[in-house]
Amino acid sequence: MLYALAVLFAFQLLGEFLARVTGLPLPGALIGTLLLLLGLLFYKRLPKTLEDTAQVLLQNMMLLFIPVIAGVMLEFDHLRREWLPFVLACIAGAAITFTATALTFRFCLQRQRTRKPDDESAPEQEANV
């Protein structure tokens, strides 16, 4: 688990470094995540230790939101003054997320329906033999 956490932190650190050096208008954590994705695509498999660590992090994700919630509470006076843009951004973000998820799901369903069932013909051939 320590190895996987070190890998995750190393990619985040690399992303932060690249964000500051290049001046890209993206968060360093996002750049690090994209670099991790590219590394995993190049490696062509997910190491077991990384998978296990990611599973533990996903199971305890609510703990990772505590600093964000505390930060929002510290800026509560600012949010009280600027509540309308905050609410509109939350609603628009949720709508965009729901729409993107629905379109992706629809695309995957259509792709699955148009795919020829090659795997289903194999058991029939085995049964005839």
pLDDT tens-place values along the chain, 129 residues long: 888 999 999 999 999 999 999 998 889 999 999 999 999 999 888 889 999 998 998 899 888 888 888 888 888 888 888 889 989 999 999 999 999 999 999 998 998 888 766 555 555 555 554
- The predicted pLDDT at position 78 comes to 84
The CB-side HSE value for 21 (13 A sphere, CA atoms) comes to 7
Chain length of the chain: 129
φ, ψ at 27 (rounded to 5°): -65, 145
- Alpha-carbon distance of 113 to 57, in angstroms, equals 34
- Alpha-carbon distance of 48 to 55, in angstroms, equals 11
pTM of the full structure: 0.56
- The predicted pLDDT at position 129 comes to 47
Give yes or no for a contact between 14 and 65, defined as CB atoms under 8 angstroms apart: no
- Alpha-carbon distance of 117 to 126, in angstroms, equals 15
Selection from 10, 11, 48, 52 nearest residue 30 by Cα? 11
Q: Give 49's contacts (C-beta < 8 A, 6+ positions apart).
A: 1, 3, 4
- The predicted pLDDT at position 46 comes to 87
- The predicted pLDDT at position 1 comes to 84
- Alpha-carbon distance of 53 to 8, in angstroms, equals 10
Query: Three-state SS string across 11-46, please?
Result: HHHHHHHHHHHHCCCCCHHHHHHHHHHHHHHHHCCC
- The predicted pLDDT at position 76 comes to 83
- The predicted pLDDT at position 62 comes to 86
